[in-house]
Structure 1
């Protein structure tokens, strides 16, 4: 890219809100000015950082399991045990039954989403500058949870689990019966009930994905605006307080995503 977008605030903001995309039909990288929402275009920056953070998460916890000890726990072990107890206690307040998937799923969601959210604390120009020097493409976004494709992928996965446990625990007949018998009991309202219950079911992954995306995208925009319009020698006056406040947002959004997952799944884990 030859255009110096760094000195033009309008181009700077537009550039920083574009993904590094690849056209799957030609397997070529797409310039940020040509970014489009197309089925054949993949945001490879979001996919790459999601995978890297997932590997980091799994690798760290694998090493933790190799060094775990009861006699002399280290700081990492104590921290992980505190997080585990925190998640377990919150799950038990919502779901009283037993399920082997719910606890590890909730733990994985919380840590993975938290790590993706934490990428928002990295200076917005760091990775674009590095990518420009190495690859010649600087349109790279490093916050996967600020990409609606990633958040909806997570929430759609939760929807599949809801459907799986709904059919498994209630059976095909019982699951469909709930769709046509609620909220109105009369048989004449079965179609109306089906429409309402379908909207209610689909709203769960939509709300999950949009809530996480909206909050993280807004936080990213604030950092970009500060970096684009405020002189570099004054940016710390705004970016540091916002980053400190954003740490709370990062934690809360991961926690809310996890808790809503538990709430939604708990509705379908009990047998009718």
Structure 2
């Protein structure tokens, strides 16, 4: 089995961290916040590293979380394609045996059959050989494509998990500065909300920002799409350059007509 299950498990755990952060941070755009790690209070505003206020930061964390939720429960295809590749590998073996049989003239009727029947049979042999060869080529292409797409899926979920983990780790030392205000209660003074994500301490690193995480996730998706398209292409020499066509279109006209077929 692939490693995608671990990536998805890690993603779900980190997604919970992101969702908790989005849920608990609140207050005015310039409220007082406390960092549990540094044990200091500061007036939140625009952070020198990201150039964004805590509210913008929180909103972007929510964007990342929403994006991840679209994919975190849609990973079954990775292992399914890995299993499919193994089945196509078996098919390749059978097709290879058939190809070797018909192409090495192990067909006893080629020499033993005489008269019109023998001639008709020998005329069909090239078609049998072409059919067996096409079956082997097709099975090989589908085996390779299934494996390549499965591998691309593993890489996609691994890259997304890594990006989200970096972001989630940067949020874990922020805690709620005080009890959530009662929306129906009287106004209160003092600490107005949860810890902001200013990252003004040693974690003040661009790699921990939700904008960086979002870019990494989108880059991973683009790479996946490119890998899938490439896996389903059969490169063919066309003029001075090499073009390609999809596996289905490549095999469309490759199958010979069966004996007696118009």
Q: Which has the higher strand share?
A: 2
Q: Which category describes the TM-score, using the shorter chain as reference length?
A: 0.3 to 0.5
Q: Which has the higher helix share?
A: 1
TM-score (norm 2): 0.33
TM-score (norm 1): 0.32
Q: Work out which structure has the larger RCO, using CA pairs closer than 8 Å and 6 or more positions apart in sequence.
A: 2
The structure with more radius of gyration: 2
